[in-house]
Structure 1
Amino acid sequence: MSSSDGPGPELSRNLVYLLKHAHLRMAELAANAVKPYGIDGRELGILLALTGREPASQQQAARRLGIDRTTMVAMLDALEGKGLVSRHPHAEDRRRNVVELTEAGRATLRLAIDANDKAEREFLEPLTPKTAEHLRNSLQKLVLPSDD
């Protein structure tokens, strides 16, 4: 690759450019890692949002992920078609649909988490463990709401 093929000094320091390309690279590694389990990165995100908590409504899951309601319904339809989630009316509020992982969904999630973790390690490999943890912590501060 010649020097004219790279992003150049202006772009190589531009945060939007760097974040975009870091995201694209990590998303590609993650997608390839979870593909053997019949899901993609967005579906992994939904499965993660649904696990470890009491059964969530479709709307709660959509809010956690920042996904609009229509997109969430379509994605849950796909996951339900794959047998990974089930939906049923809430016991106290029949207007709400509760979404839960099925046994197959929990098994798929376990395998996909391991594969995704391996992809993350590959992505972060150029960094020292301390620097990688600092990056993760810094991104959490920028992206996640503060508890203050």
Structure 2
Amino acid sequence: MLNTYTIGRIGKDCQVISGKHGSFVALDMAVDDYQKGESTTTWVRVKSSKENHIKLSEYLTKGRLILVHGTLSSSIWEDKNGNSHVQLSIVAETIKFIHTGKKGTEANAASETDGNMDNEAKAPMPPEGLPQNNDEDLPF
């Protein structure tokens, strides 16, 4: 079994596929690799039958940057011209959205969205008028 963590952008909106063995989500993810000043894109198929991923499918849209953790496998297929290609696939254990932020804001942050809708959020600012922490008042 090959466990992997992979970051990439979703190539087209996620599909929910229903069959007699249940439902699952499927999406294609573009993974960019930069070596010696050149960029190479590898396409990876991501699948999951987890209920929480199925619920998140409406947010798994084209262009979103995600991190996928799961089991990697590969297969070989032939196109209509007889050329052989390798298809990489990941059966996802977790899917996380990567938030790149906007120019001029704080550092990039990743929040876990493996189906628990409890995304980590930045701590809210206290209301105005409340005393603020003052490190100068500490006795040590």
Q: Name the TM-score class by shorter chain.
A: under 0.3
- TM-score, with structure 1 as normaliser: 0.22
Which structure carries more helix by proportion? 1
Bigger radius of gyration, 1 or 2? 2
Which structure carries more strand by proportion? 2
- TM-score, with structure 2 as normaliser: 0.23
The structure with higher relative contact order (CA 8 Å, sep 6+) is 1
